[in-house]
Amino acid sequence: VARNPGEAEFHQAVREVLESLGPVIDRHPEYLEMKMLERICEPERQIIFRVPWMDDKGEVHINRGFRVEFNSALGPYKGGLRFHPSVYLGVIKFLGFEQIFKNSLTGLPIGGGKGGSDFDPRGKSDSEVMRFCQSFMTELYRHLGEYTDVPAGDIGVGGREIGYMFGQYKRITNRYESGVLTGKGIAWGGSLVRTEATGYGTVVFANEMLKTRGESIDGKKVMVSGSGNVAIYAMEKVRQLGGLPIGFSDSSGYVVDEAGVDLDLLKQIKEIERGRVSDYAERRESASFSDRGSIWDVPVDVALPCATQNELNGEQAATLVKNGVKAVAEGANMPTTPEGIHVFQQAGVLYGPGKAANAGGVATSALEMQQNASRDSWTFEYTEERLTDIMVNIHDQVATTAESYGAPGDYVMGANIHGFEKVANAIQAFGLV
Ligand code: NDP
């Protein structure tokens, strides 16, 4: 804490991982001697830079850009870029730290990193977003490369932003280096299923957890927070597996639609019109919008937090438990507070932490890199099959690891230990690095 003052989210993420690692250190005291924990908690490189840009009225703005290249033991740094006013070093470091273990769990050759800016894309015109992205990439490009560091999207960074950034990278470097960014458009090196991957994968993971108790998503009422990329496609997969998504949110409030969410309408509003969730309630009779209380007050069988960090606290977790929730799988990164996690685990609710449950996005990014490297593009069906296999495999490995350390059903412990061991072994093999 003294070494990284004021980085509350980073401290929270590190504490959660370290709390799981006691039994690993007991089995492998050499990790302690080799200062493995200190090495994993210290990013390999942190880049902070100025991003000047001009708005449509000719006014100059200065934002701050970040890229934390956290760990490259298993492959090039890989992790998204977040554009949101709440971004500062502590948020990027927490996300980068989580990414190390998540990427390790996918079984694919990718290291961990994360980046972004405190730029707020909401309410900006297309040309303002383009000018910002071009300025951001004008500094960031020198740190990237398909063998070095490969960013993707995250909150506030979708296909439009990746397009502007890829265009600028290509222009500056004079290289059509498809593998340098993922989340690209299908016509220019993107992968089918990448848009859907995080949400789909989270629901596959939830379904696998439910299967361990002889249940499934089929017939379950599901609440999904957020209404962005992850939330929308989580709801789509819930529908495909026979469940009923009954609500979603944004930072202004939440919508409940007991008839089941009309995904075509929601996509129209969020992906095409870039509107708010209240617009959905205005256009659909069975839906109501509220900016009071919490989305987690609504009784459901399955909760999928897919918005942002620390959006589900201990009190809200207790309400979900009281209302009979059976499973919680995190589409977002660290959405449940430590108190919330404790409530779920004490109550015996199936709880899948983000670094395992939402790994489908980065896994499919790695599949995009594979397609780019072989100058190939795969069908939707084949790519989704790979994604599903990866998610089932992550679930099984996490569950087996938890069991082998005497904590059956503890997906937090299983994910942290399994993710850590592979990275630690690779670092050890490289010597003092
Ligand atoms: P988007 O920008 O597409 O959507 C974010 C959504 O969350 C928006 O609806 C936003 O609403 C909402 N939101 C933000 N803050 C709050 C809040 N305080 N309360 C309620 N809603 C809020 O981002 P993504 O869907 O890509 O990302 C969502 C989460 O998933 C993040 O934690 C991200 O790190 C994680 N994730 C994303 C992956 C991906 O592939 N995209 C991969 C793995 C994890 P508003 O418009 O009002 O801000």
Residue 280 covered by a domain: yes
In-domain check, residue 353? no
Choose one of 348, 365, 382: the last residue of a domain.
Answer: 348
Mean pLDDT of 315-324: 98
Where is the domain boundary, 348, 383, 413?
Answer: 348
Centre of ligand 1 to C-alpha 148, Å, is 26
| CB of 294 closer than 6 angstroms to any ligand 1 atom | no
Check residue 327 and give its pLDDT.
Answer: 98
Full DSSP string of 341-405: HHHHHHTT-EEE-HHHHTTHHHHHHHHHHHHHHTT----HHHHHHHHHHHHHHHHHHHHHHHHHT
Q: Is 154 in the pocket of ligand 1 (CB under 6 A)?
A: yes
Q: Can you read off the two tokens belonging to residue 421?
A: 């061991």
Q: Is 57 a catalytic residue?
A: no
Mean pLDDT, range 89-108, rounded to an integer: 98
Indicate whether residue 195 lines ligand 1 (CB < 6 A).
Answer: no
Is residue 162 situated within a structural domain?
A: yes
So what's the pLDDT on residue 2?
Answer: 86
User: Counting atoms of ligand 1 from 1, which one is nearest the CA of 153?
Assistant: 41
Q: Identify whether residues 102 and 201 lie together within a single domain.
A: no
Same domain, 246 and 287: yes
H/E segment holding residue 61: strand 60-71
Note whether 145 and 200 are same-domain residues.
no
Strands 350-352 and 327-329: parallel
Q: How far does residue 306's CA lie from ligand 1's centre (Å)? A: 6
Q: Residue 329: what are its φ and ψ, rounded to 5°?
A: -125, 130
Residue 35 in domain: no
- How far is CA 208 from each of CA 200, 203, 214, 217, 398, rounded to the nearest angstrom? 13, 9, 10, 9, 11
- Statement to judge: residues 214 and 284 lie in one domain: yes
pLDDT digits (tens, 9 = 90+) for 63-87: 999 999 999 999 999 999 999 999 9
**Does the beta carbon of 229 lie inside 6 Å of ligand 1?**
yes
The shares of helix, strand and coil residues in the chain, as percent rounded to the nearest 5, are 50, 15, 35
Whether residue 238 sits in one domain with residue 103 = no
The answer on 139 and 283 residing in a single domain is no
**CATH number of the domain enclosing 64:** 3.40.50.10860
Number of compact structural domains in the chain = 2
- CB-ligand 1 contact for 183 (6 Å cutoff): no
Digit-coded pLDDT (tens) for 355-413: 999 999 999 999 999 999 999 999 999 999 999 999 999 999 999 999 999 999 999 99
pTM of the model: 0.97
Residue closest by Cα to atom 2 of ligand 1: 155
Of all protein residues, whose CA lies closest to atom 23 belonging to ligand 1?
155
Domain end marker among 177, 212, 227:
177
Count of beta carbons in the 10 Å neighbourhood of residue 147: 11
How high does pLDDT run on average in the chain?
A: 97
Are residues 168 and 244 both part of a single domain? Answer: no
> What is the pLDDT at residue 419?
98
Residue 414 in domain: no
Question: pLDDT digits over 5-34, tens only?
Answer: 999 999 999 999 999 999 999 999 999 999
**Confidence band of 264 (pLDDT split at 50, 70, 90):** very high
- Assess if residue 276 is contained within a domain: yes
Structural domain harbouring 266 = 195-348
Is ligand 1 within 6 A of the CB of residue 99? no
Does 389 reside within a domain? no
Q: 272-284: per-residue pLDDT in tens?
A: 999 999 999 999 9
Distance from the alpha carbon of residue 10 to the mean position of ligand 1, in angstroms: 18
CATH number of residue 262's parent domain: 3.40.50.720
Whether 350 shows a pLDDT value over 90: the answer reads yes
Alpha-carbon gap, residue 28 to 14, rounded angstroms? 19
Q: Are residues 231 and 101 in the same domain?
A: no
- Tell me, yes or no, whether 234 and 309 share the same domain: yes
Mutate to test the pocket of ligand 1, among 150, 308, 390 (most ligand atoms within 8 A of CB): 308
Q: ipTM of the assembly?
A: 0.98
**What does the pLDDT look like over 175-197, one tens digit per residue?**
999 999 999 999 999 999 999 99
In a domain, 136, yes or no: yes
The dihedral through the CA atoms of 87, 46, 9, 407 has a sign that is positive
342 and 200 share one domain: yes
pLDDT at 294: 97
141 and 200, same structural domain?
no
Say yes or no: 56 and 100 in one domain. yes
pLDDT at 1: 82
pLDDT of 433 strictly over 90: no
